[in-house]
Amino acid sequence: MKNVKTLALAATAVAAMSAPTFAADRTDLRSGDYSWMQFNAMYAVNELPRSDADDGGHDYLEMEFGGRAGIVDLYGYVDVFNLTNSSSGDKGAGKSKMFMKFAPRFSIDAMTGWDLSAGPIQEVYFSTLFNWGGGAISGVDADGNEYGGDVNMSFWGLGADVMVPWLGKTGMNLYATYDMNAKDWNGYQFSMNWFKPVMNFDNGSFVSFQGYVDYQFGADAVDDMFVPTTSSGGAAYFGLHWHSENYALGYGLKAYQDVYLVKDNGGIVGLESTGFAHYFTATYKF
């Protein structure tokens, strides 16, 4: 679903295996600077997790952005759900209106002047990721009662740009996961994403195969009577998108398994967290 022109990160072990040398030319850190932004009008069908009471679809507008400036490589987006404020749909009244992903990473190669490339590894990063919901953050009310809140997560790790056969430059990362609501470190997340042109046309437009994988593991499972969680789970997106200089159209299939560590059909609430969803995208590029 996401335009992965900004490709993320690889595993901590990858960085450890990359012996530092001084072959890289870092005399002009700004020579490769660039930035981009686009707006995506989107519709999601059967997005998970959801309850049986929720209709399977919703519209939303996404502002997506990224770029490189010196040592910093940035990717992010802001989603605004249910633009017409419809009472139906799985983002209807009472549901969170916004979501933001913010993922700055910092080139260790550029900061140190070392060339950490080795084999398929092109560049190594200290990587961060922040997921923020648009609703209330959890806390304690005036009577001392705890209340739940929207997504408020951060991820911290190392990664690299890696050349993968056929896919080309692919971002991979390994994060430790910190829940800012619970003030607790809980498990890890492996992520990878790619952007592969697969068909070119005479007018300069092309079709890309693009997508990502986010997989959490090593977390503490919680046997909550309402919404139990698992120790692992994640999602993968596989999309075909047509791109021109100023526009894009796309379709993506997203596969889930206990996404966000929510146990599929578990507990009293019985949220569905394993299955498939469909995404349709129309993009205007700035």
CATH assignment of the domain containing 225: 2.40.230.20
Query: 40 is written with which tokens?
Result: 């995506």
pLDDT(94) > 90: no
Residue 195 maps to a domain: yes
Q: Which percentage of the chain shows pLDDT scores above 90? A: 73
Q: Is residue 173 part of a domain?
A: yes
Residue 5 lies in a domain: no
Does residue 167 fall inside a structural domain?
Answer: yes
Those residues with Cβ within 8 angstroms of residue 223's Cβ, 6 or more apart along the chain or in another chain: none
pLDDT at 53 over 80: no
Least Cα distance to 170 among 213, 129, 128 occurs for: 213
Residue closest to 113 by CA, chosen among 173, 71, 169: 71
- What's the DSSP call for residue 132? E
What is d(CA 225, CA 196) in angstroms, rounded to the nearest whole number? 43
Quick check: is 7 in a domain? no
Band of residue 87 on the pLDDT scale cut at 50, 70, 90: confident
Structural domain tally of the chain? 1
- Which pLDDT score is estimated for 155? 98
- Give a yes or no: residue 22 inside a domain: no
Q: Which residue range(s) make up the domain with 38? A: 34-285
What was the pLDDT predicted at 5? Answer: 34
According to the model, what pLDDT value does residue 179 have?
93
The continuous run of DSSP H or E covering 33 comes out as none
What are 129-144's pLDDT values in tens digits? Answer: 999 998 776 655 455 5
Average confidence (pLDDT) over 257-275: 94
206-226 tens-digit pLDDT = 999 999 999 999 999 999 999
DSSP 8-state assignment for residue 266 = B
Q: Is 273 a member of any domain?
A: yes
What pLDDT was estimated at residue 43?
95
Residue 188 belongs to some domain of the structure: yes
